[in-house]
Amino acid sequence: MINYHKAKKVGISILRKWIFIFLVGEILFFSIVGTNYFSLNNIQNILVASTIVLLLATGQTFVIITGGIDLSVGFMVGFSSVVCAKTMVSLEAAGFSQLLAITIGILTALLSGLIPGFINGFLVAKLRVPSFIATFGMYGIAYGFAEILCNNVPVHNLPTSLGSLGHGYLFYWLPGKIFNFLSKPENLIREELKNLVSIIPNVTVITFIFIGIFAFILAKTKFGQHTYAIGGNINAAERAGVNVKVHLIKVYMISSFFASLAGVMYVLQFITGRAPAGSARLIDAVVAVVIGGASLSGGKGTVMGTVIGAIIIGALETGLVNLSVPTYNLHIAVGCILIFAVLIDQFSPELIQNEGEI
Amino acid sequence: MEPLLEVKNITKRFGGLTAVDDVSLQIYPGEVIGILGDNGAGKSTLIKVISGVHHAEAGQIFFKGQRIKINSTMEALRIGIETIYQDLALAENMDVYSNIFLGREKLRKFLGLVDVLDHEYMQSESKKVLKRLEIEIPSLKNKIRNLSGGQRQAVAISRSIYWNAKLLIMDEPTAALGVPEQKKVLNLVKTLSSQGVSIIIISHQLHDVFAVATRLIIMRRAQKVAERITKKTSADEVVSLIVGSLPGDYN
């Protein structure tokens, strides 16, 4: 009897972590079937390729936990990338130093990205517009404004030093010789360049700093607790004295902040600003959140789960490229995983879903 | 003895409809009273006036002899009047102690910098209040979703008690429960009363009210038609008063 109970306990805790096991299995599969899949370079590629989905999904996690959805982030990335790139180009043209132009460009993009979030939150919380409608409206508005700002053409000629930031790494290591922090060693001969190991892309560092901060907020603070409470029972939260309206506005602002940050990361990675940038990532982001254990009816989800969900998609995408499978197959695979995740959520016994005592 | 709460000549109208008409009542510390009446008799409106949801057009409310005005539910809570509605207002996706502390979370400093939730404190305090009320719940980390109706009721009650409720208003506390669960909730009501908490119960189930309340207030068509000591009346008489086949005392 005791053994049976123990086995059940182990089984349940494994099922609860199925997405983690899925990710490990996926990486194992591609490592065996693909070429050079399990290498430092490729793992870093997966992380870089997942940047936008990771950021969008982290913000989206907050919204989905409250029982809403934020569709506007699809075009918020493009809007923010255009604002960021435009500001940098015009400041540099006006004679500002590159460093100043880049800094002000990034800050402008992040700050202006808060406005659509505020409007979304206001519509949802105060005027009781369904989040699907409010943010879908903002989705179109953000795209239109982005196109107006950039006159329908991608923004080019950005400050040249942007590349060293966006394509740079945290550490550079030439075995036995050099270990540099942040700056790429110069004047290397071809042989040395080949052996140079670049560790942790800057873009990934920035991404995970913000994800870490907000994972902490969601899991450990009163703000996070109230986010779950609103998703569980909005009336109960209200009667318990939670300022639900203000809280919801903040949640939508978090989501649009992450979308703007994704836009800035897009500029750093691709050294351009485009209105439709990242719009295809909206669905991936929602899928990542759902795979990560959140429910669209609200009340559950974690940033950690979302991160794994996003990396599952990134690893799959990289894996298919590695196997030279046409990438449209990715959509089929992601679609299947999404449906699978929702089925697991619906049909798994209560025991598995509840993190409390067994 | 001074009443804990006294309402005098309360009248509440919704447009042309008088929902509560000139009703007065008192409740003493540790007393359990029942408000009985048919649907639409004005019971719910009356307690909503006391719990700050509705604002009465006429009448006065005294708490421990002091004239008070209850303009919002928050004000009622601050005074010590807690209402447990039928829906219980619990977040089902959260655990027991998080619900007890919802909206009033205990925080501690993390690394001396940021305020984070103090789970240990909230758990141990919740354990204490559950113990005081002799409530058995398998684990404080259980999600409300996994609890029975009676256990949920108990959690909602413990939350009020932890935050120092002096007067507890319970709207149909046993309506959604099975028989053994009903008994547990009624026992809990007795425990609370013995600890000095006053309780107003609104219920359709005469049996429950007879089991715990010492005094009954019967309402019909917005008016208080009778007041009875439970021991000196019978279910038959009360039903007759509710449906109006017996004339009330005040008309």
Minimal Cβ distance to B142: which of A229, A241, A357:
A357
Question: Residue A358 — pLDDT band, cuts 50, 70, 90?
Answer: very low
Is B93's CB within 8 Å of A299's CB?
yes
Task: Kindly report the number of other CB atoms within 10 A of residue A271's CB atom.
Answer: 18
| Whole-number Å distance between alpha carbons of A152 and B226 | 78
At A36-88, the pLDDT tens digits run 899 998 999 999 999 999 999 999 999 999 999 999 999 999 999 999 999 99
Report pLDDT for A327. Answer: 78
Measured CA distances, B160 to A240, B157, B208 (Å)? 11, 5, 21
Q: Which of A225, A297, A348 to mutate to test binding with chain B, by most B CBs within 10 Å of its CB?
A: A225
Q: Which whole-number Å values give the CA distances from B114 to A59, A82, B48, B110, in the listed order?
A: 21, 35, 39, 5
CA A224 → CA A220, B16, B133, distances in Å? 7, 45, 30
Report the pLDDT value the prediction gives residue A1, as an integer from 0 to 100.
55
Question: Residue A289 and residue A62: Cα distance in Å, rounded?
Answer: 10
> Residue B117 is nearest to which of A221, A237, A240, comparing CB atoms?
A221
A116 and A123 Cβ atoms separated by less than 8 Å:
no
**Set of chain B residues whose Cβ sits within 8 Å of the Cβ of A240:** 89, 102-104
Judge whether B177 and B115 are in contact, CB under 8 Å. Answer: no
pLDDT reported for residue B132? 83
Sequence-ordered strand ranges (E) for B106-197: 107-110, 114-117, 167-171
| Closest-CA distance of chain A to residue B200, Å | 20
**Interface membership of A239 toward B (CB under 8 Å):** yes
Task: For chain A, give every domain's residue range.
Answer: 21-164+218-347
Decide if A68 contacts A250 (C-beta within 8 A): no
Report the 10 Å Cβ neighbour count for B90: 25
What's the predicted TM-score (pTM) here? 0.88
How close B30 comes to chain A (CA, Å)?
25
**What is the pLDDT, as a whole number, of residue A177?**
79
Examine the pLDDT at A352 and tell me if it is beyond 70.
no
What DSSP element (H or E) covers A19? helix A18-33
- A168 CB within 8 Å of a chain B CB: no
Q: Is the pLDDT of residue B207 over 80?
A: yes
Distance of residue A310 Cα from the nearest chain B Cα, in angstroms: 24
Q: Are B143 and A235 a contacting pair at CB < 8 A?
A: no
Look at residue A150 and tell me whether its pLDDT is greater than 80: yes
* Residue A343 token pair: 């089925």
Of B77, B94, B117, the CB nearest to A220: B117
Query: Does position B94 have pLDDT exceeding 90, yes or no?
Result: yes
A191 vs B93 pLDDT, higher one: B93
Cα dihedral sign, B237-B239-B242-B245: negative
Report the share of chain A in percent with pLDDT over 90. Answer: 65
A64 reaches B (C-beta below 8 A) = no
CA–CA dist A349, A328 (Å, integer): 34
Chain A CA closest to residue B163: A240
Q: What is the pLDDT of residue A356?
A: 45
Question: pLDDT, tens digit, for every residue of A269-285?
Answer: 999 999 999 888 999 99
- Quick one: residue A227, left, alpha or beta (phi over 0 = left, psi -120 to 50 = alpha)? alpha
CA B183 to chain centre: 17
Q: List, in sequence order, every residue forming a beta bridge with B167; answer none if it has no partner.
A: B81, B198
Q: For strand B215-220 and strand B198-202, is the pairing parallel, antiparallel, or unpaired?
A: unpaired
Q: Could you report how far apart the first and last alpha carbons of chain B are, in Å?
A: 29
Set of chain A residues whose Cβ sits within 8 Å of the Cβ of B127? none
Residue A60: how many other CB atoms lie within 10 Å:
29
List of E strands, chain A = 169-174, 178-181, 197-201
Instruction: Determine the residue among B74, B143, B151 to mutate to test chain A binding: the one whose Cβ has the most chain A Cβ atoms within 10 Å.
Output: B143
ipTM of predicted complex: 0.84
Distance separating alpha carbons of residues B127 and B146, to the nearest angstrom = 18
> Which among B89, B107, B116 has the least Cβ separation from residue A239?
B89
Quick one: DSSP state of residue A70? -
CATH 3.40.50.300 fits B5-91+165-243, yes or no: yes
- Which chain B residues are closer than 8 Å to A216 by Cβ? 114
Cβ of A357 within 8 Å of Cβ of B110? The answer is no
| Chain B interface includes A350 (CB < 8 A) | yes
Confidence band (pLDDT; 50, 70, 90) for B166?
very high
Residues of chain A found within 8 Å of residue B104, distances taken between Cβ atoms? 240-241
Is A232 in the B-facing interface, judged by CB distances under 8 Å?
A: yes
- Pair B138, A348: CB distance under 8 Å: no
- Pick from A225, A240, A356: CB nearest B143: A356
Q: Please report, for residues A41, A70, A303, B14, B114, the alpha-carbon distance to residue A213 in angstroms, rounded to integers and kept in the order given.
A: 26, 20, 10, 50, 11
Tokens of B151: 């256990």
Chain B interface includes A221 (CB < 8 A):
yes
**The two structure tokens encoding residue A300:** 């559950």
The share of chain A scoring above pLDDT 70, in percent, equals: 96
What single string gives the DSSP state of each residue in B191-207? HHHHTT-EEEEE-S-HH
Pull the structure tokens for residue B32.
Answer: 């359990």
The Cα–Cα gap between B69 and A37 comes to 71
Contact check, Cβ <8 Å, B89/A350: no
CB contact under 8 A, B141 and A356: yes
* Packing angle of the helix pair A73-93, A131-149 (nearest 10 deg): 30
**DSSP bridge partners of A155:** A273
- For chain B, say whether A294 makes contact (Cβ under 8 Å): no
Question: What average pLDDT score do residues A95-101 get?
Answer: 93
